[in-house]
Structure 1
Amino acid sequence: MTWIETIIIAIVEGLTEFLPVSSTGHMIITEGLLGMKSDAFLKAFTVIIQFGAILSVVCLYWRKFFYPEELKSNGQSWWQAIWRFYLKLIVGVIPAVIVGLLLDDFIDKNLGKVWVVAVMLIIGGVFMLFCDKWFNKGSEKTPLTYKRSFIIGIYQCIAALLPGTSRSMATIVGGMQQKLTRKAAAEFSFFLAVPTMFGATLKKLYDLVKDGGFSVLTEGNNLWVLIIGNVVAFVVAIAAIKFFINYVTKYGFSAFGWYRIIVGAIILLLPLFGVTLEMVD
Structure 2
Amino acid sequence: MTEFLVAILLGIVEGVTEFLPVSSTGHLILASELMGYDAAQWAVFNIAIQPGAILAIVVLYWRTFLAVFKGLLKWEPASVAFVRNLLIAFFPAVVLGLAFGDQIDALLENAVVVAWALIVGGVAILVVERFARTENVLGISGVSTGQSIKIGLVQCLAMIPGVSRSGATIMGAMALGVDRRTAADFSFFLALPTLTGATVLQLYKHRDAITADGLELIAVGFVVSFIVALAVVKAFLAIVTRHGFAPFAWYRIVAGAAALLWLGMR
Fold similarity call, TM over 0.5: yes
Answer whether contact 2:112 2:263 (CA < 8 A) is retained. no
Answer whether contact 1:9 1:30 (CA < 8 A) is retained. yes
Q: Does 1:118 align with 2:120?
A: no
Answer whether contact 1:65 1:82 (CA < 8 A) is retained. no
Q: Does 1:152 align with 2:146?
A: no
Q: CA deviation at 1:82?
A: 4.2
Q: For 1:179 and 1:77, locate their aligned partners in 2 and report how far apart those are by CA, in whole Å.
A: 31
Give the direction of change, closer, same or farther, for the CA distance of 1:10–1:136 in structure 2 (3 Å limit).
Answer: farther
Q: What per-residue deviation string (whole Å, max 9, x for no partner) do you get for residues 226-248 of structure 1?
A: 21111110011111111111111
Q: For 1:225, give the aligned amino acid.
A: L
Residue 105 of structure 2 is aligned with which of 105, 108, 133?
108
Residue 171 of structure 1 is aligned with which of 155, 163, 169?
169
Q: What per-residue deviation string (whole Å, max 9, x for no partner) do you get for residues 185-226 of structure 1?
A: 0110000010000000110121123xx33xx231xx332222
Q: CA deviation at 1:3?
A: 1.6
RMSD of equivalent CA atoms: 2.0
SS of residue matched to 1:18: coil
Q: For 1:133 and 1:28, locate their aligned partners in 2 and report how far apart those are by CA, in whole Å.
A: 30
Q: CA deviation at 1:79?
A: 4.0
Q: Which has the larger radius of gyration?
A: 1
Give the direction of change, closer, same or farther, for the CA distance of 1:242–1:201 in structure 2 (3 Å limit).
Answer: same
Which residue number corresponds to residue 56 of structure 1?
A: 56
Residue 241 of structure 2 is aligned with which of 249, 265, 268?
249
Which residue number corresponds to residue 90 of structure 2?
A: 93
**Structure 1 ranges of 4+ moved more than 6 A:** none
Give the direction of change, closer, same or farther, for the CA distance of 1:240–1:258 in structure 2 (3 Å limit).
Answer: same
Which residue number corresponds to residue 260 of structure 1?
A: 252
Which residue number corresponds to residue 22 of structure 2?
A: 21
Q: For 1:20 and 1:265, locate their aligned partners in 2 and report how far apart those are by CA, in whole Å.
A: 17
Alignment of 1:34-49 (within 5 A): 34-38=35-39, 42-49=42-49
Q: What per-residue deviation string (whole Å, max 9, x for no partner) do you get for residues 51-110 of structure 1?
A: 101111111111222213995xxxx86443544322221111000011101111111111
Q: For 2:45 and 2:138, locate their aligned partners in 1 and report how far apart those are by CA, in whole Å.
A: 41
Larger fraction in helix? 2
Which residue number corresponds to residue 194 of structure 2?
A: 196
SS of residue matched to 2:68: coil
Q: For 1:243 and 1:217, locate their aligned partners in 2 and report how far apart those are by CA, in whole Å.
A: 36
Q: How many residues align?
A: 262
* Structure 1, unpaired ranges of 5+: 276-281
Q: For 1:70 and 1:197, locate their aligned partners in 2 and report how far apart those are by CA, in whole Å.
A: 24
What TM-score do the two structures reach when normalised by structure 2? Answer: 0.92
* Structure 2, unpaired ranges of 5+: none
What TM-score do the two structures reach when normalised by structure 1? Answer: 0.87
Q: For 2:155, give the aligned amino acid.
A: Q
